[in-house]
Each structure stands twice: as structure tokens, then as C-alpha cells.
Amino acid sequence: MPAAPDSEAPAALAVLTPAAFAAARGQAAHALLEGLNAEQRAAVTLPAEHALILAGAGSGKTRVLTTRIAWLLQTGQVSPGGVLAVTFTNKAAREMQARLAAMLPLNARGMWMGTFHGLANRLLRTHWKAAGLPQSFQVLDVQDQLAAIKRLCKQFNVDEERWPARQLQWFINGCKEEGLRPPDVPVKDADSRRKVELYELYEQQCQREGVADFGELMLRSYELLRDHADLRGHYRQRFAHILIDEFQDTNRLQYAWIKMLAGLPQAGAHPGEPSPERTGGTIMAVGDDDQSIYAFRGARVGNMADFVREFGVRHQIKLEQNYRSHGHILHAANLLISHNQRRLGKNLRTALGAGEPVRVLQAPSDFAEAEWVVDEIRHLVREGGLPRQQIAVLYRSNAQSRAIESQLFNAGVPYRVYGGLRFFERAEIKHALAWLRLLLNPADDTSFLRVVNFPPRGIGARTLEQLQDAARAAHAPLHQAVPALTGRARANLAAFTGLIATLRQQAQGQTLDQVVELVVEGSGLADHYRAEKDGQERLENLQELASAAQAFAQQEGFGRDAVALPPAAPQMDAGMEAGLPAEMDAQAAPASEPAAGEPPLAAFLTHAALEAGDNQAQAGQDAVQLMTVHASKGLEFEAVFITGLEEGIFPHDNAQASPDGLEEERRLMYVAITRARQRLYLSHAQVRMLHGQTRYNVRSRFLDEMPDEALKWLTPKNPGRSLAEDETFGSAGRRFGLNAGPNAGLNAGLGERAWRPMPDAARAAALPSATANTREGAPIRAGMQVFHNKFGEGAVLEIQGTADDAKARIEFKRHGVKLLALAVAQLTPLP
DNA sequence: TGATACACGCTTTTT
DNA sequence: GCGTGTATCA
């Protein structure tokens, strides 16, 4: 179907009138527009000029993006090779690819579609020489990077107290995200000078070892284009259309990278830069400033405004028609986000009708909150007929999942927790990958140190220190320094390096999954885990790694019998010193296709670093989904619970210091709300166990920033409103009470929870209705006997303060004297 | 050299 | 409350 050559079609089409345009394009192209609304259609069919699409939550953003690409191809405005489509996550990239494939019978291989880092990697693999990297450079993930920094710090006797490795890592990544090399970093004091020094040393170490961290992929590929006019010219000409997803999440470097590719050099950033060469492609940036929730890791919403200004963007389209949520939910979201000052401005609308009101619960404790959530979930599944996987429980921080998990577990409701250890991050997998990396590159000292004594082979810290000293003295990688040692240390190390050499030999001519199995067995990893009593799962994961390798080889089209390793001895130590620009210029401008010709093993290792994989805990089962609000972005569910809506938790304490922080928290809440299709439940608890301490929290301000008419409080919002009045869903309150009995029995039966359900008396006292009475009706006075749902029975010694600030000093029978705020503490007077 | 004990700290997270 | 990482001991 496609594809006139890049050059000819666009100009011709751009000047046609809409009518002529419509007549000219094929029927197939026309069909692409079916079912799109006016805004979406306008975005898809924009002329070839820079554009910003403000795509609200649930407004069909991905659809617009993919249809736009299909449209460009179908109308012959661009060939697949002329498209560059960038996303943040592999998942988003895969989704885009799949949807496009469904739309067009097209081999998307020629298209550059992927994550920022994936595409940066592709550039660097293709032009490794020009970029000054060894051909088979390895990618360091976060863990590897931290290990590398720790090693560096040890070597240079850095005071771990003053400069914690984590902090250095954060500093280095921050610099790279800003596009700053060590000489560019402003130095304020001795402390920052030292940090910059270490940054520089770290870079040298990476260069020596032939590895690149995530930030390096971006920065190095940016510099590659900046410093090589021929390459820059080539790619600018090639990529006629650049499409960027989640533009509000781009950091400074990513935007600069886009500018470099699109032909708008960063003005003034580099004096040597010739005047702007505006020969690049057209950018379509898609994003939503209201969903910018990654400022903490460098995302810069300001890039949206900068883009409009710097590129003179004339086309801005807002997608405000929401296809996901019912009216009350959307109304709540709209009003909440309107409390933010700094927005581009957007108001979502839906055609789905008002739907159910948003239900809000005040629970006496986190435990009760969880209990209520589980009750509602069972109700939704049983009576509402909802599949469990269409129900999500969201929370601000991971620590909050525990309470919900326990309750779901006790109730026997299947659930899946997102986040946590991903497949390629597991220790046993990292070990196996380190062995594999050493086959390819024995100079990879990070990998060397990871497995030199794992499984244990009698090489201790002492020996390694000697080895590192020797290597340093010789300016050589660790494996080359082995002969410098003596005695048993040397023998043990030689056995290790010998084993690697042997494995490399045996791996010759084998396929990727065979090599993986060979290494898992030959390294002793398998035996080690077989001997361990809890090693079964790890063994299975290693088995899984071989399967993953096989799947990968197939997916990448390496053919069934493709040999994993290059036949010749791998190139390594040579050519790792800084790359030589002169040499690169000699290299011909890139051929059209960038298939870097990486051997399967190298490609697989890159894949493992660039894509951490899922944590497939209970995948596949019909399970309730538990995740942080951050993790929920981009997803949707029929029913959503947002828990822990308390000041200090959501919005989080650490974010309240600055207005910006608070606005980001509010956007986070906005994201959470807009995940829900039909039903939304919000809850907060008066007492919560957090980090082993009891906290009394005031309800989140966000609850007061949503419209009353869209909310339905299941417990009284203001003291005095009674639960029983609630007809439709008041049963929630009652059910909540009634279920206490059977549930308590169930819990008791399953035993050994540290935080068993409250005794019935306490439970009754903790029920919302009882609460209301307490707070409104029966004032607490000195001398009274009271019941507290955590501390039990106690005597009120005195009352301090008045009104909302009133506190009671209470002597509890088992917990001593406590000072509790009457406004929050659940106190029931006892006769 | 390996195993166990005790601080420590702790928002969010993709690549 | 729990996992991680270092310190110390056998």
C-alpha cells in the first residue's frame, strides 16, 4: 500500500484543498477515520506541520497516535522508514506496534518505534565507532550502576557517610538527564566539586569496562548526532515524521534529543553549533499536562510550552471527549484538577451519563478500610458480575498494600500485586546474565565481581582486593590481572577465568537457549540452587530464562539454529578507549537499515537490561489488581478503589512543602480517579499503622476538593449524619457491620495474622454509627471510662484544649498513658 | 570465609 | 513491620 518515496508526496498533498485531498486518498485511508470524533479526526489528518495534541485521560490518545501513523503511510505521505515513534515504556511501544499491525498489513520492521532508550540504543549500536563505544558494549541497569559506583567509591576511599553511593547515583543520573558532562556541571563548593570528580571517574570506569547506563544511552546518542553533521543530516532527512507519546513526561535531555533529530539545534547550548539547520521532520507531540506525575525523576512539563514556542507550533488540538468514565467520576476529576493553578486547561466530557456516584468511606482503621474494600469487591463480583481483573485497588505508596493483601488473602480472593521484583532483576537471573556477559566481554568488571565467587569457589574479599590493586596498577580489567597474584588466590581465580573460557568455547556453534542452559549448568548455578532448600523457585526461574532466550531469538527473527556467539573470539579489550571522531568520519554514512547485526547473545543481554520484564506473580488468573497510583497510569478498570486518602499519605508528607509538589500530588489523584469506568470508591482511615507506628490522620484535602453532588458518603462526612438514611448503598454500612461476624470467624480460623480482627465489642465500638455518636453526642470528660479500638479500655485523666484541638490524656489498662486528639481518636464511653 | 545479628530507613519508578 | 546492608563472630 504505501509508499511513495519520502520526498515527493508530502508537499504535494499539503497544498490540496480538503475536498481534493479526500478525493485523492484511497478508500482504505478513508476507512481509518471511521469511528473517530471530530477532534480525533482533525489530529489524525493534520498537515505535515509541528503539532501538539493535548489528550485527556481516556480520550483515545493511543488510537489517535497509531491512526495518525497509519494515515501518513496510507496516504503516501511517508514510508515506514520515515517514521520515528517514541514512547516511554516497552509496553506502550508494543501496544502501538500491535495496533498498527492490526490496521495495516505492513511490516513495521523498517519503522523506528520504541522507547527513548531503545531507540538511543539502536543509534549507538549502529554507530558504535562514531559514538566511541566498543561494538558489544553492555547496558547497565540500575542495580549494576549502583554496584559500579560502590566499587568506584571503594577504590577511591570515598567516605560512604558523606557521599552515599545512592546519592551519587542520583546525582550522576540527574546530570545526564540535564545533558551535563562533568565539565559542564556547575561547582558550588568543595562538596559538589568532589561529586563532579567522582562523576568523571565513574565515566572513565564505564568507558574502560565498555558499559553504558541508561542516562548514557540518551546522552551519548544525543552527542553522537550533535557532533557528527553527516549522521545528523542523514537522520534529519530520514525521519520525516516524529511522533512522541506522553510528552509531558520527557526530561530536558529527551526533548533536546528530539530537537536534535527534528532539526532544531538547542540554541546557544553549544557554541560550535552552526546556525539552525531546519531540515528535519515534523513533530507530533501527544501529552496531558494534567497527568504529569514524574517530576521527581526529571520530567519537565515545561517542555510542552517550550515545544510550542521553539517550533512555532500552530496546531494544537485538545481531545476532551472521554470514552471511559461515567459522569460523576469525570465531574469529580474535573473539579479536583481545577484546583491546580498551573495548567494548560482542559475539561473532560463524557457521553456515558452520570452513572453511579463516587462512594466515600471513612473507616476507623486501616484494617477496617481493607475489610470494607474486600467486602465491596466480593459484592461487585458476586452481584455485579464483574470479573476480578476489572477491579483495582490503588494506593499512594507500596507499604499500604499489606493491609489490603492480608484481607484479600484471608477472604480467599485472588489478587495480583504490581511492582516489586521484575523477572530480569531477580538475583539468580542477574547472576546468570553476568556469566553470559562475561562470555562476551571478560572486561566487564561489574559482572566479574558479581559472580567471581558465586557460586562460592573460595575467592574472598582479601583476594579480590589484591586483584583489584593489581588491575589498577596495570590499568587492566580484572581478568587480566590474575597472573599478578600468587598461591591459592591465583589458582582459584585462574580456575574461574578458565571456566569462563571453557564455557565460551563450548558455546561456539550453539543456539541462544542452548548457551543459556550451558552457562546455567556449567557455572555451577544450577547445582548451587539444587542444593539450597529454597532453591526450587530460583531453578525454575533459570529454566524460564532459557525459554525467554528461545522466545527472544524467535521473535527477533534470528532463525531457529542461529548461532548465539560470533564465530571469532569476541572483540573486547581493544578499541575501548575513547572513540575517535576522525575514524568515524571515514565510516560511510549509515546504510538505510540500522539492523546492527548484533549476535543473538549480545542482543538478548541488551534486551534484558532494557526491559526488566513483568513480575508474573499470579498473571493469567482472574485476580483483583493491586498497585500504586503511579503504576495505574494508562490503565482502566470497571471499578477502582483509591485508599488511604489522608493528609500525609495522599497528598504525601514530603510533597506538601512546595506548591509544585502539592500540584503533582493532585495530578496523581486525578490520574487515579480517571482510571475508573463505572464505579469509584474512595476511603480514608482514622488510624493507620505505618512503618510500625500508629498514625492518626486527617482526611485528605482532595476529598473536599471534589463536588458534593458527585459523592456519596457511606459514613457521615460531617459528624451527625446518620448511616441509616442511606438507602441504595447504605447497605454498605450495614453489610460492613453484619459481615463482621462471619468474617471474624474466618479470620480466626486462618490464624496467625499479627493484627487479628478486633474483638466483637471493640468492633461494635469502631463501627461508623457508634463513632458518630461519640463525636457528636457524648462528650468525653475527665474521669470517664472509655474504650479505644487499639488501646482498649482506659480512664480519662484530663482534657486539654478545646474544640477541634481538644486532647484527652488517658491511662489505658494495658498501654499506659496516651495523649489522643478527640477529633480523630475513636473513643467510646463505657458505663 | 560464611552465617547470623542488629541498625537503618522508608514516596512515587521506567529505561 | 520489613527488607536490605553492614558488622561481627565463629
Nucleotide whose C1' lies closest to the alpha carbon of residue A459: B1
Strand (E) or helix (H) holding A350: strand A349-350
Q: Name the residues of A annotated as catalytic.
A: 61-62, 245-246, 291, 675
List bases, strand C, within 7 Å of protein CB: 1-2, 6
Q: How confident is the model at residue A309 (pLDDT cuts 50, 70, 90)?
A: very high
Distance A643 CA to C1 C1' (A): 20
Q: In terms of DSSP bridges, do strands A282-287 and A391-395 run parallel, antiparallel, or are they unpaired?
A: unpaired
Q: Class for domain A15-127+222-267+276-319, per CATH?
A: alpha beta
In A 12-31, which Cβ lie closer than 7 Å to strand C? none
A57 is in an annotated binding site: yes
Supply the CATH classification number for the domain A432-576. Answer: 1.10.486.10
d(Cα A750, Cα A763) in Å, to the nearest integer? Answer: 19
List bases, strand B, within 7 Å of protein CB: 1-2, 10-15
In A 1-20, which Cβ lie closer than 7 Å to strand B? none
| Mean pLDDT, residues A535-562 taken together | 85
Q: In terms of DSSP bridges, do strands A816-821 and A637-642 run parallel, antiparallel, or are they unpaired?
A: unpaired
Q: CB A818: neighbour CB atoms within 10 A? A: 17
- Taken as a whole, chain A contains a residue count of 831
Q: How confident is the model at residue A762 (pLDDT cuts 50, 70, 90)?
A: very low
pLDDT at residue A268 in the model: 44
Sign of CA dihedral A364, A366, A369, A375: negative
Supply the CATH classification number for the domain A138-209. Answer: 1.10.10.160
Cβ A533 to strand B below 7 Å? no
Say which CATH architecture domain A760-829 belongs to. Answer: Roll (2.30)
Cβ A691 to strand C below 7 Å? yes
The amino acid that residue A39 corresponds to is E
In A 286-345, which Cβ lie closer than 7 Å to strand B? 293-294, 296-297
On the question of pLDDT at A595 being above 70, the answer is no
On the question of pLDDT at A778 being above 60, the answer is no
Nucleotide whose C1' lies closest to the alpha carbon of residue A142: B15
Q: How confident is the model at residue A134 (pLDDT cuts 50, 70, 90)?
A: very high
pLDDT at residue A262 in the model: 93
Cβ A345 to strand C below 7 Å? no
Beta bridge mates, A114: A86
Cβ A781 to strand B below 7 Å? no
| Mean pLDDT, residues A414-427 taken together | 86
Cβ A689 to strand C below 7 Å? yes
Distance A159 CA to B7 C1' (A): 19
A816 is in an annotated binding site: no
Grid coordinates of A454:
558465586
| Mean pLDDT, residues A660-684 taken together | 95
What Å distances lie between residue A72 and A21, A112, A293, A424, CA to CA? 13, 15, 31, 37
Name the pTM for this structure.
0.79
Grid coordinates of A559:
532463525
d(Cα A652, Cα A648) in Å, to the nearest integer? Answer: 5
Check if the beta carbon of residue A762 is closer than 8 Å to that of residue A787. Answer: yes
Q: What is the pLDDT of residues A81-130, one digit of tens each?
A: 999 999 999 989 999 999 998 888 766 667 899 999 999 999 999 999 99
**Which residue bears the cell 454498605?**
A732
Nucleotide whose C1' lies closest to the alpha carbon of residue A214: B15
Check if the beta carbon of residue A6 is closer than 8 Å to that of residue A238. Answer: yes
**DSSP track, A137-150:** -EEE-HHHHHHHHH
| Mean pLDDT, residues A265-280 taken together | 52
Distance A461 CA to B5 C1' (A): 21
Distance A150 CA to C8 C1' (A): 22
Distance A646 CA to B9 C1' (A): 22
d(Cα A317, Cα A184) in Å, to the nearest integer? Answer: 38
Q: What is the pLDDT of residues A35-60, one digit of tens each?
A: 899 999 999 999 999 999 999 999 99
Cβ A397 to strand B below 7 Å? yes
Nucleotide whose C1' lies closest to the alpha carbon of residue A218: B15
| Mean pLDDT, residues A288-295 taken together | 94
On the question of pLDDT at A378 being above 90, the answer is yes
Beta bridge mates, A637: A676
Distance of CA A826 to the CA centre of its chain: 38
Check if the beta carbon of residue A733 is closer than 8 Å to that of residue A769. Answer: yes
Distance A336 CA to B15 C1' (A): 31
Say which CATH architecture domain A358-422+617-735 belongs to. Answer: 3-Layer(aba) Sandwich (3.40)
Angle, to 10 degrees, between the axis of helix A229-238 and the axis of helix A214-227? 100
Q: What is the DSSP letter of A649?
A: B
Distance A77 CA to B11 C1' (A): 46
Cβ A531 to strand C below 7 Å? no
How many degrees, rounded to 5, is the angle at CA A647 between CA A646 and CA A649? Answer: 70
Mean pLDDT (chain A) is 80
Q: Which tops the pLDDT comparison, A456 or A10? A: A456
Q: What is the pLDDT of residues A171-222, one digit of tens each?
A: 999 999 999 999 999 988 888 888 899 999 999 999 998 999 999 999 999 9
| Mean pLDDT, residues A760-769 taken together | 34
Q: Measure the N-to-C terminal CA separation of chain A; round to a whole number of Å.
A: 84
Cβ A150 to strand C below 7 Å? yes
Q: How confident is the model at residue A750 (pLDDT cuts 50, 70, 90)?
A: very low
Percent of chain A at pLDDT exceeding 90:
49
Domain ranges of chain A: 15-127+222-267+276-319, 138-209, 358-422+617-735, 432-576, 760-829
Round the CA-based radius of gyration of chain A to a whole number and report it. Answer: 30
Grid coordinates of A185:
556541571
Cβ A458 to strand B below 7 Å? yes
pLDDT at residue A147 in the model: 86
Domains A15-127+222-267+276-319 and A358-422+617-735 belong to one CATH topology? yes
Check if the beta carbon of residue A402 is closer than 8 Å to that of residue A420. Answer: no
Cβ A475 to strand C below 7 Å? no
